[in-house]
Structure 1
Amino acid sequence: MKKTVLRSLWLILGVGSLLLGLLGVVLPLLPTTPFILLSALAFANSSPRLHQWLLNHPRWGQIIHNWQDGGRIDQRSKTTALLIMAMMPPLSWILGAPSWAIGVQFLILLMVAAFIISRPS
């Protein structure tokens, strides 16, 4: 019984994070990759079929394999992420965000950029 409940919770987490990841494809401030990686972890603990589907997915499979192989982020993904992150504070300024919010955003993006740069390619 306990194992079934735990497996169900992992499945719910997997489906929920997959949905958030898919939303992140079209919503610019919602990250996609971390949610897809979380889905892979959750499906590995709940549904071998869904886990294999993600691992074999033409778009997300290689990113998951890279992450599972030592936390690697390929150079193309690093460059894309850093360029998009660099565009966010100026875009926020153009859209009229308050200065304090742009400052907080800048600090968070700086920490995320440092993490991305620190990962092996």
Structure 2
Amino acid sequence: MRQKLIKCILFVVACLASILGFLGVVLPLLPATPFFLLALFAFSKSSPRFQHWLLNLPGIGDDLRSWQTHKKINKQRKPVIYLSIFISFVISISLLMGQPLIQSMLIILMLIILLCIRKLPEF
């Protein structure tokens, strides 16, 4: 019974993370990748069928499969990742004109994220 409850909770978490991931694709301040990685983990523990679905999504599935297999990022994809993060943060920062504290926090957060991505292993 306990295991069934845990699977159910993980499935709900995976579904919510997937929704947030899809929203993150179109919303500048919401990151998509961490939510898709969380969804992949939760689906792997709760629903192999939905894990397979997520791994075969166009545009997202290849990167998720690569991460799941190698725990590395494709070297050619890093510039695209850097650029998309930079553009989304610039849009968010420009929308917050007149709020220097929040803008500064976003700049620091962007730099931290870019540094973390830079340190990820490549293949």
* TM-score using structure 2 length: 0.87
Structure 2 partner of 1:106: 107
Matched pairs, number: 121
Give the alignment's Cα RMSD to 1 decimal: 1.8
Structure 2 unaligned segments of length 5 or more: list them: none
Post-superposition, which runs of at least 4 consecutive aligned residues in structure 1 deviate over 4 A? none
Equivalent runs, 1:10-89 vs 2, <5 Å: 10-87=10-87, 88-89=89-90
Deviates more, 1:28-37 or 1:74-83: 74-83
Decide whether the 8 Å contact of 2:28 with 2:91 is kept in 1: no
Moved more, 51-60 or 77-86: 77-86
1:97 positional shift = 4.4
- Percent identity of paired positions between Structure 1 and Structure 2: 31
Q: TM-score, normalised by structure 1?
A: 0.88
1:24 touches 1:30 (CA, 8 Å); kept in 2? yes
Q: What are the superposed Cα offsets for residues 18-48 of structure 1, whole Å, 9 maximum, x if unpaired? A: 0000111111110111111111100000001
AA aligned opposite 2:66: N
